[in-house]
Structures are given as structure tokens and as C-alpha cells.
A and B are shown apart, each in its own frame.
Chain A
Amino acid sequence: MAQNDVVARMNNVFREVFDNPEIEIFDEMTASDVVGWDSFSHINLITSLEIEFDIEFTQQEAFGFKTVGELKSAIEAKVNS
């Protein structure tokens, strides 16, 4: 799957989860950059990404991401595996 495609689909998920149509994700983005990205909404974000890409994260993976870039890399690895 093309990298741009992953980013676009991730961006849509971010907008839906955080109910913010203005979100534009970037690799260095962290939870502190997004209004409402707390530990509760993080679970919803991960599950929504799992549904969108038909993948699954382990609990350790789900809570190990520090940046959107790390999340993107993990999704790409799972989608392409």
C-alpha cells in the first residue's frame, strides 16, 4: 500500500476520532498536539485504525507509540506483511 494512501486514511481516522475536520497529521505529531488525545481517546484511535486497516495491535504496541510517525510505520509494516 502506498505511503500516501496510508497517511490519507490515517488522517481521516484522526479527524473522525477527535471530531476535528481540521486535523492534518505529521510524523512528529504527538498526543499533546491534538485536542482531546488522552488515554481514553487513544484506545478509540487504535481500535479505529485497526478497523480501517484490518490489522491488530498488541496491548504493548498500542501504548508504545510516541509519535504519529511511529504509528504510521507500524501500520505500514502490518499492512505490507
Chain B
Amino acid sequence: MTTQFFPHNNIGYLCTDWQVERGLGAKTALKLIDKDENLFEFSFAQLTDLSNQAANLLSSLGYQKGDRIMLLLSKTVEIYAFFLGALKLGLVSSILFTSIGEDSIVERIKDTDTRAIISTSRMNFRLVKVLQKLDESFRVLLVDEDQSDGQFVGIREQFKRASAEFVTPETDPEQYSHFHFTSGSTGKPKAVQHCHASIIDHLRSFDEVMQVNSDELFWCTADPGWVTGTTYGITAPWALGLTQVQLDANYDPALWMRVIERYKVQILYTAPTVFRMMAQQADTFYQQYDLSSLKRVYTVGEPLDPNLVLWGRRIFHCEIYDTWFQTETGSIMVANYPGLEVRPGSMGKPLSYLEAAILESKDNPLPNNTQGLLCIRKPWNSMFREYVGNPVVYQNKFLGDFYSSGDIAYRDEDGYYWYIGRSDDVINTAGHLVSPFEIESAVMEVPHVLDCAVVGLPDDLLYEKVVAFVVHDEQSPSLRKLDMGIKLYVAKKVASLASPKEVVFTDKIPKTKSGKVMRRVLKKQYLGQDVGDLSTMEE
């Protein structure tokens, strides 16, 4: 691992004050576009002041180095101010998806001993229920309210009045900075912990893969609740002093094209699922827009089908580069990038400062063109430092000196890596990893459900769709209503993206003699394929 130091060793400082110190104070850091297409611009000097105000406010409220907080905000300037301000103050923060369900919020808070959540009154309908399940010391800080009421604390005016002077303390590069949540095939989602040193790899990967010039406009469309949205939608571009676009609106192809055209976006980073949705529009739709500013388009989150690479080239008249990384890796590990011939469908090659391998076990590296576990030699700066409260699970992620991604891939004779699938039951839907266990737990709480099993199955749009196989009792209402009840309950308890796209009612869930769900059998039955050896199945 490269031992490097950076100003104050603090990500928040590097993204703001440092840019001002090196003469970029007046440069636009953020072009923030709201749903009505109003543009709000913030310079690095303004971002510095706002994050300092956030740091001072959080300090005045009693939050100290090492305290954990969460942010439940849409893409408004407050999310950036408080994320960066928390980093400067030494807090450890996590950005949540705004569509997250109430139980998921509660579990995440309890599992990480989080002290407060920063949000807006728009989310009160959900947070009221969350607070009922938490300790009385927990606080909800509302950025759009002045008044306080019980555990809800209005901070709008205090934020405005807070001092814009803040001295970021020298930070230990290993000090914890931010965390995300990821799903495993068993158990609850785990908090993936990163530290301030991770910024070194955010920068190196951004430099090597994105190759954005200082006068180019960058747009990472990922939600900041996703590791991509934090690493490449906040930290990397600002630590390099770049201007980036953020859009606070749902996906709408016409709106996206208008943003690219109007602001002349040059580098776009998005997801293959978005590409698949875009590809549903006729080519003539794109001919309405001047997209000539685009120089490169990157994707991440799930495999990019070769046909989509070709579609993207035809529509955007530029190269399409797929990239691969995970919440645990913190930054891009394997990628296609300028200077490397793109082989459509390939993940590309490992970045120059990393060593990847295809392993069968810790002592058994596999030769070219042989499928195995995609692994990265440890350590690297943005590697996760722990699963919070799960040391055994953390250790199990390593095969000797290698981090094991859980993804199956192979390397060809030219060194390109090719993705095959997951080695476990985790479902990759629209680039989000979701746990079948978490969904099954929610489905089992729905009245009239006797048993269930959840699997990921191929989908033209989402890459994989969540499918729930359900056994119901004889008193259940119409199956259509039960179907909808299951979907809505999962959306409410877990998250909308975890809501089954399809519910299949069945008489029995195939299980092994020890009671383990045979997902392989369910998948093959659904796909009409041979189910293979059933000797271990219970009678």
C-alpha cells in the first residue's frame, strides 16, 4: 500500500479548504439542478464555508470525533455540506437512500450505535415511526425547520448563523470517515467501514480511469447513498478541484439529455440499468439533443452487455467504459479506460497499483480462462477496515492475502477480466446488492404467508429481478391482493428496490434435509431448466 499523506489527512478538508488554498475558491464546485431544472451553483469557497458551518453546528450540538451520524437527504446542498462538515469534525457518517424502509433505518442505527440522523421534515412521516424504536437520546436534526419538538431538532437557522470559520484538525489517515451498508446472502446488511486514507485511492482511480481535465464537467448520476455516489459523486472530483453536476430528480431520459445538452457535460458516470432504460427510447429521441459535448461515458454496478456498449457508441458518439468495484473496495478496482482497448462485455483490467487474481482457494490461483473467485491483494487505501460489529464475517472475506469479492470471473490470455456471476445468493438488481434473507424475513411477516424463498432471476432491465416464491394459507384473500400486499410490505420494511418484482405462489419451497432453501432448484424450475441432483432434498 502506498503511504501518502495529504493536507490535514482529512477528506473534508481536501475537498474544500484545500481547493481554496490552491487558488480555486472562485471556481464552481457544484452545479446543482433541482426537479424544476433550476440551477444553483456553489463555488469551492462557498462549499468550504457551508461545510465549516455544518462542522461548527454539529460541534455545538455536542457531537464529537468518532460519533456516528447518518444523512437522509435528497441531493440538496445540505447533504454535501453536512457530509463534508462531519468529516472535518471527525464524525463518521453514512448517507442513506431516501427510499429506505423504516425497519432498515432502525437496524442500521442500532447496529452502528449512530447518535443522530440529519434529514428534512419531508421524511418525518417515516422518522416518527423510527424514533419509536430507538433510545430517547437519539436525535433527528431537521435542516428545514427552526423549531424543535422532542427528539426532532430544527437546525435551519442555527446552520445559517453558524460560523464559517473552522480549523480542521490534523487527522490520522486511519481515522474512520464514512460507512455504507451492503448485503450478504445471510444475516442483515453490514456496515462497511472506510477511513480518511481511502481518498488516496479515490483520487488514483479517478485519475487513471476517468482522466478528467480541470476544465471539464463531470456528472456521476449515482445516489450518494451508494458507494459510487460518495466516492465519485462527492470526494474524488472535489478533491481534484473539478466541477460536477448533480441532479435532484428521478430518472427521466428527456431531463437527463437536456442536462447534458444545456450544461455541456463531458464525462458521464452512470449504471448499465440506466443504459437499458435509455435504450428503450428510439434513436430518433436522442437526435433531438445536441450531445456532442460528451467525450466519455462510464458505467458501474453490474455487467455491461456488449450490445449496450455498441448502442452507447451509436447514440453518444463516444466510447463506453465499464468499471467494477464494490462497497468493500471503496474505489474502482478493474476497469476499461482510455488507452486500453475496450473489449465489449469485459470488465477491463485491474488498475496499475493493484493486483487482482482468480482464485479457487487461498493457495490455489487459477490459470487464464478458468472461472474462479475474483480477488484483490490486500491492502489498499480504500479497502474497508471492518464490518462494524462483525469481525468474524470480515475475516471470512479474505483468502490469505487476498480480499475475495464473492464475484465469479475469469481472466483471458491478454489480462482482461470477464464477469460471470455471484458465488453466493446475493441479488444484484439494478446495480444494488440485496439480501434474499432480509427480504424473506419481511415476507414472512405478511399475514397468510406460511413459507417463502427469494431468489434473483435474469431480467432484461434490472440485470436481476427479485422473485419471491410464497406458500400461503387457505384463508388468504385474492392472490392478486396478497401479491401486492407482499410487495408493498417489503418496500415499506426494507426498501422499494428490494420489493419483489414477481411473486410466485407455490405449494412447497424445496429445501435440503437440513432445512436449507434450495435456491438453485427454484431458479431452474422458474427458468424451465433441468433441476439436476435432488438427492439432498427433503421428502
Contact = CB atoms under 8 A, between A and B. Distances in A.
Interface of A: 16-17, 19-22, 30-33, 35-41, 43-44, 47-48, 51
Contact of B484 (A31, A35, A44): A44
B123 interface: yes
Contact of B250 (A21, A32, A47, A51): A32
Contacts of A36: 98-99, 491, 496
Contacts of B496: 36, 38, 40-41, 44
B488 A43 contact: no
Given A32-B35, A41-B491, A51-B480, A21 B499 contact: no
B249 interface: yes
Given A44-B499, A51-B480, A21 B125 contact: yes
A37 B122 CA distance: 13
Given A19-B126, A40-B497, A48-B484, 6 more contacts: A20-B125, A20-B126, A36-B98, A37-B250, A38-B496, A44-B484
B501 interface: yes
Interface of B: 35, 98-99, 101-102, 122-123, 125-126, 248-251, 277, 430, 480-481, 484, 487-488, 491-492, 496-497, 499, 501
15 contacts: A19-B101, A19-B125, A32-B35, A32-B249, A35-B99, A37-B250, A38-B99, A39-B250, A40-B99, A40-B430, A41-B499, A43-B501, A44-B499, A47-B484, A47-B487
Residues of B contacting A: mostly: helix
B250 A31 contact: yes
Interface SS of chain A: helix
A18 B277 CA distance: 23
Contact of A38 (B277, B480, B497): B497
B70 to A, nearest CB: 16
Contacts of A21: 125
A51 B101 CA distance: 23
Contacts of B499: 40-41, 44
Nearest to B280: A63
Most-contacted residue by chain B among A35, A40, A43, A51 (CB, 10 A): A40
A47 B502 CA distance: 12
Nearest to B480: A51
A48 B122 CA distance: 23
B491 A22 contact: no
Ranked nearest first, the 8 interchain pairs of A and B with the lowest CB-CB distance are A32-B35, A41-B496, A40-B496, A36-B99, A19-B492, A20-B125, A31-B250, A40-B497
A51 B484 contact: yes
Nearest to A16: B488
Contacts of A38: 99, 250, 496-497
B123 A44 contact: no
A21 B124 CA distance: 11
A33 B250 CA distance: 10
Nearest to A19: B492
Contacts of B491: 17, 19, 36, 40-41, 44
A60 to B, nearest CB: 10
Contacts of A16: 488
A35 to B, nearest CB: 6
Contacts of A30: 35
Nearest to B490: A44
A72 to B, nearest CB: 19
Given A19-B492, A44-B491, A39 B251 contact: yes
A38 B501 CA distance: 14
B539 to A, nearest CB: 37
Contacts of B125: 19-22, 35
Nearest to B274: A39
Contact of B481 (A39, A40, A51): A51
B220 to A, nearest CB: 18
Nearest to A32: B35
Nearest to B34: A32
B482 to A, nearest CB: 11
B253 to A, nearest CB: 11
B145 to A, nearest CB: 15
A35 B488 contact: no
Q: Which of A17, A21, A35, A48 has most B Cβ within 10 Å?
A: A35
B99 A41 contact: yes
Nearest to A44: B487
Contact of A44 (B102, B251, B488): B488
A60 B501 CA distance: 17
A18 to B, nearest CB: 9
B241 to A, nearest CB: 30
Given A32-B35, A32-B249, A51-B481, A17 B497 contact: no
A21 B102 CA distance: 14
Nearest to B273: A39
Nearest to A36: B99
Contact of B122 (A35, A39, A41): A35
